[in-house]
Copies of this chain bind each other. A is one copy, B any other.
């Protein structure tokens, strides 16, 4: 399988294990490290593509499992593909459906060839195989597509060993099934919390020669320290000249710690999900804007933030929208949360280029606390 020229990765700076680079895709460059908003159902929830552009997003995730079920990958292909369907002209990455099938469906039956499952929407029966996942992702047409993998409980050694064998066999089948030259397939390193399994997986996945390597199965139940240990362990094993995508990670502290450990791409539903639950993310910690203390607070969420929400609206107004159950609350807080994480990755990128990422991280760690005191 030939790749189009676009999928090259320029590593432009290193600062310790942290890396700054440029990944070229058919829909434009990704300046790494980068944080990607998630648009599960072909929309970042409550946000227009124009708002995504304004907040500086360049990569958006979407999801093969969800779009296969609704509206159907063939339907999206008939609409001209996912970029045109959702009106996002910059790069898109689709997940393979593996994680969703293992986390959102009932009555799963796994065999060597694939997985039978029932839709979380209507209980209808479906089957995904590596070939099916690739076919779905080729219909969708994202720039980056993911190998179909099995996502076991990260603490169960025996299950992880079995799942890893399947995930590796499936990754090879994905590579063989793949036909479109304008999509980059990323293999996924699994292995739970077990460094030796992770090492074995990293070596196998790397050997496939995919233009990027993903790290899956973290942020699904293990501790932060376990995640960081795995990242430290993987850093010297993963190929330097290919982008590394840590799947599903996205708190401010995780973004900082992952980038320090060599991660290039991250995504998470956290910023938009938290926004719908009235929580604002800042680099000094999280604020629950429903709190009555904000009723007369004339400050923006974060006085140092340059997002649309912080330039225009006060905490008092956002709290009013929440109490009055206005949809605009979710939109405005989502804009802020996404902007914060996108900007954080950009600042880390500049710090890497300037060779000051350790002091940036030290400064971040000294001011960040998970629950920000509301007087701040």
Q: Which residues of A contact B (CB under 8 A)?
A: 41-43, 45-51, 70-71, 75, 78-80, 85-87, 295-296, 298, 308, 312-314, 316-317, 319-321, 323-324, 326-328, 330-332
Contact = CB atoms under 8 A, between A and B. Distances in A.
Contacts of A298: 79-80
Contacts of A46: 327-328, 331
A296 B85 contact: no
A332 B331 CA distance: 13
A45 B326 contact: yes
A49 B330 CA distance: 15
Contacts of A42: 317, 320
B324 A327 contact: no
A46 B46 CA distance: 9
Given A75-B296, A78-B296, A47 B328 contact: yes
Contact of A314 (B49, B85, B308): B85
Nearest to A50: B308
Give the top 8 A-B pairs by smallest Cβ distance, nearest first: A87-B312, A46-B327, A71-B320, A41-B324, A43-B328, A43-B326, A79-B316, A85-B317
A331 B43 CA distance: 12
Nearest to A309: B48
Given A71-B320, A79-B314, A330 B328 contact: no
B48 A328 contact: yes
A75 B314 CA distance: 13
Given A43-B324, A79-B298, 15 more contacts: A41-B326, A45-B328, A46-B328, A46-B331, A48-B51, A48-B328, A49-B312, A70-B323, A75-B295, A78-B296, A79-B314, A85-B316, A86-B317, A327-B331, A331-B331
Contacts of A321: 41, 43
28 contacts: A41-B320, A41-B324, A42-B317, A46-B327, A46-B328, A46-B331, A47-B328, A48-B51, A48-B308, A48-B328, A48-B331, A48-B332, A49-B312, A71-B295, A71-B319, A71-B320, A75-B295, A75-B316, A79-B296, A79-B298, A79-B316, A80-B298, A85-B314, A85-B320, A87-B313, A327-B327, A327-B330, A331-B331
A320 B70 contact: yes
A41 B86 CA distance: 30
Contacts of A47: 328
A275 to B, nearest CB: 11
Contacts of A326: 41, 43, 45
A304 to B, nearest CB: 19
A297 to B, nearest CB: 10
